Structure 1
């Protein structure tokens, strides 16, 4: 893929998002699709109540449009592109239903965990079946070692775990203005570059379309946010990020590229486990970004530190892929 092609994809997705957002945000506000805020959360967040949510629709439409337009233009539309869009849109629909229940019934809980899990499993299996129509490698490589483990048909279990795990990890991270939009744009850009290393221009197409759309969305999502992505956006992004790592055969590398999401998830697991076993909390609040807020960090400081962390680990991963 040429540099001009990459820039065209990025600019197209960015532009569509920036054009759609000023139309969609007032519409979401008129529909009273406002965010509910947890009473037990940081008190500084209470002022965010009512901010339009479900904004993930904005960048999802931009990603789909960009993929269809530039994919056709540059002849990059393939089965793998379809699989990526299936996961992105499928997980986005689950998030949309979850958000919809929250805003309609004015509560902070939407679909049950089981309902979301069933939907995610169905989409993951459908993606696996589409991949198996071609010659899909079911081995999982151990980064930078040359070793791999072939799961065979059991790869579907790994795929379900990977997609469900990271979609929920990104969802947990989505608690501060611009946090997920920034960290996810960095992660997708990194995998876009890795896809180019592998000469997988079709995968790079979607990765850079998502990057461009998220950068456009970030304009409206940084503090103070004019719109939140909601589960519509975060579940879609997490599923798509995991799926891209699968398609470029760098599944475990996602643990490094997505280190911020991993840490956020581990903080919740440790907090819950500690409280159940010892009746003591490790953090002031989990996910860990709230711990830093309650420790006196401003929201901007937390977000900038997490963005920086995401950028550093993404650069390390890309350089190691390039030179090892």
Structure 2
């Protein structure tokens, strides 16, 4: 029966995403809510100028509406879902504010770094407190592949968890740099969490994860190269919130390092580039960061980067299923 609900959730979210896109994209075009392209990027990106942004609302609507429509079946197991949605939707609201600032200022700069950090820390801490108060997470960290677990002092756990969540959210944001990339990379991750939650016996979380995968797949129809719409920070921060939230409600935060490796390579390439540039007064490690832009400037097409990065994540997702299997079965 659980498998049936998973399939229904994925199909419903896919359909809602497709239908929402058919309606919302023309609305965004008419409202002239379009992306402003950075001049320092690859020059062929300038053709994307004006592509509708905030398209993340398409799959956010799909996930939230599917969750609201189906999860009444699992009333006794709703708390984890509500916590994940709190983190994801709150992160999306921060992204929405960022997108709004960019659009109103008519330049590719939104909220300041400090503003983002303060808001993200606040949301993350509230999420972690909810997990504790609602007894969703015991604070025990399960170690994938090794069938073991450990407990950290509460303050250490909170600090480490905050770094992991904020790191994941912002790494997902950096991955959204070319058509379909963040979407294509995240679909296998959502499928992994569907399988992990199923093995853990959490029906509601498996249904939510399936809705996440279905919503993204529907959005990919519009986001695949050449993209008809961009997810914007609204969508990419929602993705980061969903991924980190799902990991924490299942007590497997360390698996993000494996299944979300592409996210972290993207983020690390950006950190290394900035650090090296400052230390060497202008030298660079990569032609451009994050690393997907480096591959672009090496001659890779956006489609090739999409398939390689998504394919790598698909393999990592399969490996991660094996890694958590020993923890739940």
Same-fold call, TM > 0.5? yes
User: Which residue, out of 197, 200, 219, partners 1:195?
Assistant: 197
Q: Which residue of 1 aligns with 2:32?
A: 32
Task: Describe the superposition over 1:178-221 as per-residue Cα deviations: whole angstroms up to 9, x where unpaired.
Answer: 10111111111101111111111121122111111000000000
Q: Is residue 266 from structure 1 mapped to residue 273 from structure 2 by the alignment?
A: no
Match of 2:314 in 1: 311
Aligned equivalent of 1:103? 103
Paired position in structure 2 for 1:210? 212
- Normalising to structure 2: TM-score of the pair? 0.95
Asked whether the equivalents of residues 77 and 202 of structure 2 are also in contact (C-alpha less than 8 Å), the reply is no
Query: 1:20-57 CA distances to partner (integer Å, 9 max, x unpaired)?
Result: 10110011111111001010001111100100000011
Q: Distance in 1 between matches of 2:93 and 2:134?
A: 26
| Offset, 1:104 | 1.7
Question: Which has the higher mean CA deviation after the structures are superposed, 138-147 or 27-36?
Answer: 138-147
- How far has the Cα of 1:74 moved from its partner? 4.8
Paired position in structure 1 for 2:172: 170
Q: 2 CA distance for matches of 1:76 and 1:220?
A: 36
- Residue 158 of structure 1: SS of its match in structure 2? helix
Give 3-state SS (helix, strand or coil) of 1:168's partner. Answer: helix
Q: What is the CA–CA distance in structure 2 between the aligned matches of 1:112 and 1:77, rounded to whole Å?
A: 38
Q: Could you tell me which residue of structure 2 aligns to residue 86 of structure 1? A: 86
Asked whether the equivalents of residues 284 and 291 of structure 1 are also in contact (C-alpha less than 8 Å), the reply is: yes
1:4–1:147: structure 2 CA closer, same or farther, 3 Å change rule?
closer
Structure 1 range deviating more: 153-162 or 168-177: 153-162
Q: Distance in 1 between matches of 2:38 and 2:130?
A: 39
Matched residue of 2:37: which SS? Answer: coil
Which residue of the partner structure matches residue 55 of structure 1? 55
What residue ranges of structure 1 are gaps of 5+ in the alignment? Answer: none
The aligned residue for residue 281 of structure 1 is 284
Structure 1 counterpart of 2:133: 133
Which residue pairs with 1:298 in the alignment? 301
Corresponding residue of 1:14: 14
Is 2:74–2:204's contact at 8 Å kept on the other side of the alignment? no
**C-alpha distance in structure 1 between counterparts of 2:249 and 2:12, whole Å:** 24
C-alpha distance in 2 between matches for 1:83 and 1:304: 32
* 2:235 match: 233
Structure 1 residue 144 displacement after superposition: 2.2
Of 98-107 and 128-137, deviating more is: 128-137
Question: Which secondary structure state, in structure 1, belongs to the residue aligned with residue 117 of structure 2?
Answer: helix
Count how many residue pairs are aligned between Structure 1 and Structure 2: 324
In the TM superposition, residue 323 of structure 1 has moved relative to its aligned partner by: 5.1
- What is the CA–CA distance in structure 2 between the aligned matches of 1:140 and 1:53, rounded to whole Å? 37
Larger deviation, residues 152-161 vs 290-299: 152-161
Q: TM-score, normalised by structure 1?
A: 0.96
Deviation larger for 295-304 or 75-84: 75-84
Greater mean deviation of Cα atoms: 79-88 or 45-54: 79-88
Aligned residues of 1:99 and 1:230 also touching (Cα < 8 A): yes
Q: 2:179 and 2:79 mapped to 1: Cα distance?
A: 35
Asked if 2 retains the 8 angstrom alpha-carbon contact of 1:223 and 1:300, the reply is: yes
Paired with 1:293 and 1:283, the residues of 2 have a C-alpha distance of 11
Q: Alpha-carbon deviation of 1:76?
A: 6.4
Instruction: Give the conservation status (yes or no) of the 8 Å contact 1:174–1:180.
Output: yes
Say yes or no: does 1:46 pair with 2:46: yes
